[in-house]
Structure 1
Amino acid sequence: MIGVRRGLLSGVVGVLVMCALLDARAGLGSVAWATGSTCAAVLALAAARRAASDGVRALGPADLVTLTRGALACGVAALVAESSTSGADVRHVLVPLAAAALALDFVDGRVARLTGTASPFGARLDGEADAFLILVLSVDVAGSAGAWVLSTGLVRYVYAVATWLVPWMQRDLPARYWRKVVAAYVGISLVLAAWGHAPAATTYAVLVVAVVLLAESFGWDVVWLWRRRVNPTEPQTVLLDRTPGRITPDGPPSDRP
């Protein structure tokens, strides 16, 4: 275990070190450096605020793995910024970095189960790391595939804003493992598109399927909430769900996948 403040500060320092390594490997301009460091600072502040809200004082092994994923996503963001501003081809670095972040998504849940350290804070941190990486990758892929790809990264944040504005959407959601499958597919499809070597028709089809799956996943949740809008204050027992920003009722706490 490591203190929250120390762990998050180490994460920010780690991002800066990674940016230095990426600068040596691919070359990073001032915008890329600013993007990577700003993303690291924002994610650290958001995690610190959530930890304080949840009463978390120390980070467990699984949380540290998730923070590593968040740091890698910040590195991907720096590379996307570099590609967008200078036109440099950074795929040889961006794709392995994004793939590593996706691979770690299968690690933190197993670490949480093995160490008995699963928690609501860890589940939220895990989901936000997923959402941020998908957003960054969607920005990169949109440059070649079209702006419509941004919907894959923005939908989670649009949903979050909607839950703040619409009272009946603030009800907790039931567990649905399909959400995890959809999130994994979307991440893999975006990495494939960022790689740029698959046939154009294949890449387009894979991305269209990602959008359809996200529409089904979030649409199912919205419909479920709409049907139960007449009784939003019904007492519930909360169950953790790995999906960003979603906590689910009617069961005991579950580990991350």
Structure 2
Amino acid sequence: MALNNTYDARLVQQETAVGAGLQILLLALLGTAIGMGPAGWLTGLAFAVATWAVLSRALHRSRPRSFGPANRVTLGRATLVGGVTALVADSFESSPPVTLFVGLTAVALILDGVDGKVARATGTSTPLGARFDMEVDAFLILVLSIYLSMSLGPWVMLIGGMRYAFVAAARVWPWLNAPLPPSTARKTVAALQGVFLLLAASGYLPYGPTFAVAATALALLTWSFGRDVLWLHRTSRVQDGEVEEMLELAAEREPERETVSS
């Protein structure tokens, strides 16, 4: 529903500013607790500013009446993801405390199952909220992939980069932008990515099981994306065939029209 006055618009924008403020507060707490270096601070601040700017622009375009309770949960999760991102950036200089890293990531993953339920329970589901939730998920997977790649190798980043590669490919092949049918398997694989990557990145497992967990996550994600791409390709071929049949039928009827008109 569109905004009725500037007060509502200002209030919605204030919520994104509060989110950025909470992000900076979390960075300050992390910095005090572990003595976070410049890389962690700069990355965390960049994440806070980018989240505020992108979300504010999206809200300005969609113009919702209110920010909504589900989006507040997602914004809180984004704040935690910003903290995880800062810890991963700082890990290039010093290893982050395992308990802190696992704790922040685990809470962010748990909250992933909360915002959707809140949206449905309050009747506040929106395309913006769904996209916000998806982008936070995708970025957390990317960050965990980068962190894990330092111990297992760059191949792990295929997990975090696969969704972004799909988005880039959709700019070249527009048929990839078509909506997909609901799939429990797709949702399950997506949910398992964070769990598997956190388990592998926690350091609780020996190298062999860690490698196996990450490889399983990549295999499942490759299967899920591959299945969706094949479905989209087949669907686009069917649609193209229908268009060609319509054009051929129109061409066949054209002489009949000319005969009648003459």
Question: TM-score band (shorter)?
Answer: 0.7 to 0.9
Confirm whether residue 70 of structure 1 aligns to residue 110 of structure 2. Answer: no
Confirm whether residue 34 of structure 1 aligns to residue 42 of structure 2. Answer: yes
Match of residue 223 from structure 1: 230
CA distance in 2, matches of 1:119, 1:65: 14
Between stretches 191-200 and 65-74, larger displacement belongs to: 191-200
Confirm whether residue 10 of structure 1 aligns to residue 18 of structure 2. Answer: yes
Query: Normalising by structure 2, what TM-score?
Result: 0.84
Match of residue 240 from structure 1: none
- What whole-Å deviation, never above 9, does each CA across 1:142-170 have from its counterpart, x for those lacking one? 11111111111110111111112212222
Q: 1:105 to 1:225 in 2, by over 3 A?
A: same
- What whole-Å deviation, never above 9, does each CA across 1:14-68 have from its counterpart, x for those lacking one? 1100000001111111221110011121122222222233332421111100011
CA distance in 1, matches of 2:146, 2:97: 14
CA distance in 1, matches of 2:11, 2:114: 21
Q: How many pairs does the alignment contain?
A: 233
Match of residue 20 from structure 1: 28
1:56-135 correspondence to structure 2 within 5 Å? 56-84=64-92, 86-135=93-142
CA distance in 2, matches of 1:152, 1:180: 15
CA distance in 2, matches of 1:39, 1:89: 18
Deviation at 1:71, TM superposition (A): 0.9
| Bigger CA radius of gyration | 2
Query: Normalising by structure 1, what TM-score?
Result: 0.85
CA distance in 2, matches of 1:48, 1:164: 24
Confirm whether residue 176 of structure 1 aligns to residue 203 of structure 2. Answer: no
The answer as to whether partners of 1:83 and 1:90 remain within 8 angstroms in 2 is no
The answer as to whether partners of 1:50 and 1:121 remain within 8 angstroms in 2 is yes
Q: Which has the higher contact order (CA 8 A, sep 6+)?
A: 1
Please state which structure has a larger fraction of its residues in helix: 2
Which of 194, 200, 206 is equivalent to 2:201?
Answer: 194
The answer as to whether partners of 1:91 and 1:194 remain within 8 angstroms in 2 is no
Partner amino acid, structure 2, of 1:205: A
Deviation at 1:94, TM superposition (A): 1.1
Structure 2: any 5+ residue segments left out of the alignment? 1-7, 243-262
Partner amino acid, structure 2, of 1:215: T
SS in 1 for 2:236: coil
The answer as to whether partners of 1:141 and 1:193 remain within 8 angstroms in 2 is yes
Match of residue 248 from structure 2: none
Structure 1: any 5+ residue segments left out of the alignment? 235-257
CA distance in 2, matches of 1:116, 1:19: 33
Percent identity over the alignment is 42
Match of residue 136 from structure 1: 143
- What whole-Å deviation, never above 9, does each CA across 1:50-97 have from its counterpart, x for those lacking one? 22333324211111000111111011010001111x123332211110
CA distance in 2, matches of 1:223, 1:214: 14
Confirm whether residue 167 of structure 1 aligns to residue 174 of structure 2. Answer: yes
CA RMSD of aligned residues (A): 1.9
SS in 1 for 2:91: helix
The answer as to whether partners of 1:66 and 1:126 remain within 8 angstroms in 2 is yes
- What whole-Å deviation, never above 9, does each CA across 1:213-233 have from its counterpart, x for those lacking one? 11011111111111122427x
CA distance in 1, matches of 2:120, 2:236: 35
Partner amino acid, structure 2, of 1:70: A
- What whole-Å deviation, never above 9, does each CA across 1:159-216 have from its counterpart, x for those lacking one? 1111122122222211112222111111011111121011222211111110011101
